[in-house]
Amino acid sequence: MTVELSVASIHRRFLVLTAARWLPVGLWIPVVVLFTLDRGLTLVQFGAVASVQGLVVLALELPTGGLADSIGRRRVLVIASAVSIVSTAIYLSATNPIAFLVAFALQGIYRALDSGPLEAWYVDATLAADPTAPIERGLSAAGMVLGVSIAVGAVVAGGLVALGGVGPVDALAVPIVVSLAMQVVALVAVAVLMTETRPAPGTGGPGRAALAAGAAVADGLRLLRWSPVLMALVAVELTWGFGMVAFESLFPVRLNEIVGSGDEAATILGPVAAAAWLASAAGAAVVPWLGRRLGMAPAAALMRVLQGLSVVGIGLAVGVVGAVTAYLVCYAIHGASNPAHQTLVHGQVQGPLRATVVSLNSMASHPAYAVGLLVLPALAGAPSVSPAMYVAAGVLALGSLLYIPAWRQRVAGADQSLRTTR
């Protein structure tokens, strides 16, 4: 897959590209909801336009995953980065629901293109260099880098908001401008660092690529159909995507509810979001240890229950300290959950379909997130958003049951191995 790269080099490049991907996101997180509301949209309108992103991903996730498996992960990520830059530029200038809708729709195209290729490139390149390499270490390290990168971005965002506007750019927009510049850097990093060789495309141009992508999608769906374990793992993303709305989109509203000021909430959210993603990085760091002690499937199931309880804590908190503490715990669990879940997903698929299956897994979360953006803000009426938090918590906890097939597969494999050695 790559040209003469060692496992160590692949690992380093994967982490650098992960940092470049997520640092701009950290700049967005503390301000994205508040910026949209500041431009005149209501919370319900925000939920409606933001949900378009999930619907676009639902339509495009599988085709783009198949495209990455057929024409190359690097090419698809370069296109994704360009779409993200255009989306951010439109978002910055948006002043009405239609403009925001277009920005979120383009963001959905970006998310569909971006979902899977980098991770698939890392896993396949690593296993090609050393078939015995433990991929969970790289996935865990990437989770740590992701958390730290978003934390750094969030700290910078909070500081930029606190410093105020720059010329015609108001305070809430400054972090988004910086994010736009960092996205350009990320595009260059992908082009330079993500070396990849693909089979010669031959004749047929776009038509041939479309046919190859379609074949990859069909193979991925066939694999899903015949693998109850993979189907259950993908279904986890439905509960996870719905529940994430509570701590990603509603927590800023909950904090605003507690402190009573949008600007003050945004200022607090900067360092709080940074601390949350550092907690996420710490959570990701313990995944290899948890996997050894509990098994990856039981550990992942436990994370779903604990995350549900932490979201309940956000809803029950009566002050800033309590809400922030529950939020930090939630993100520590979130950081551990992702590499554990992805390790289980990668265990169900071989190289040629890896990006397709990763996209298939991710695809489930986006429409679920879109439904959450429609349902939970509607439940988050006066006097509090807490009822919506409780609903989201229950859905998150239900996801733990969907890890049972993976746990049974592991137990059955261990039993078979024991019988073979006797």
Q: What CATH number does residue 347 fall under?
A: 1.20.1250.20
pLDDT (tens digit per residue) in 90-116: 999 888 899 999 999 999 899 888 877
Q: Which of 2-16, 203-217, 396-410 has the lowest mean pLDDT?
A: 203-217
**Token pair of 168 as six digits:** 């015609």
What's the token pair of residue 420? 């073979």
| Overall number of domains in the chain | 1
Summarize pLDDT for 306-336 with one digit per residue, the tens: 999 999 999 888 788 898 999 999 999 998 8
Q: For residue 80, is it within any domain?
A: yes
Structure tokens at 274: 């940074």
In a domain? residue 410 = yes
Q: Which residue has the higher pLDDT, 42 or 420?
A: 42
Asked if residue 2 is part of any domain, the answer here is no
pTM given for the model? 0.69
pLDDT for residue 351: 60
C-alpha to C-alpha distances, 162 to 39, 230, 264, 291, nearest whole angstrom: 19, 46, 9, 41
pLDDT band, residue 205 (cuts 50/70/90): very low
Dump pLDDT digits (tens) for 160-190.
887 877 777 788 888 899 999 999 999 999 9
Asked if residue 420 belongs to a domain, the reply is no
What pLDDT shows up at residue 353? 67
pLDDT score of 417: 38
DSSP character at residue 166: B
Q: Is 300 contained in some domain?
A: yes
Domain hosting residue 220, numbered range: 7-415
Q: What is the C-alpha separation between 41 and 373, in angstroms, rounded?
A: 14
Report if residue 303 sits inside a domain: yes
Do the domain assignments include residue 264? Answer: yes
Task: Give dist(CA 172, CA 79) in Å, integer.
Answer: 28
Asked if the structure places residue 1 within a domain, the reply is no
Residue 151 belongs to what H/E stretch?
helix 135-163
Residue 352 amino acid letter? P
Among the listed residues 269, 314, 20, 298, the one whose alpha carbon sits nearest the alpha carbon of residue 159: 269
Distance CA 56, CA 349 (A): 25
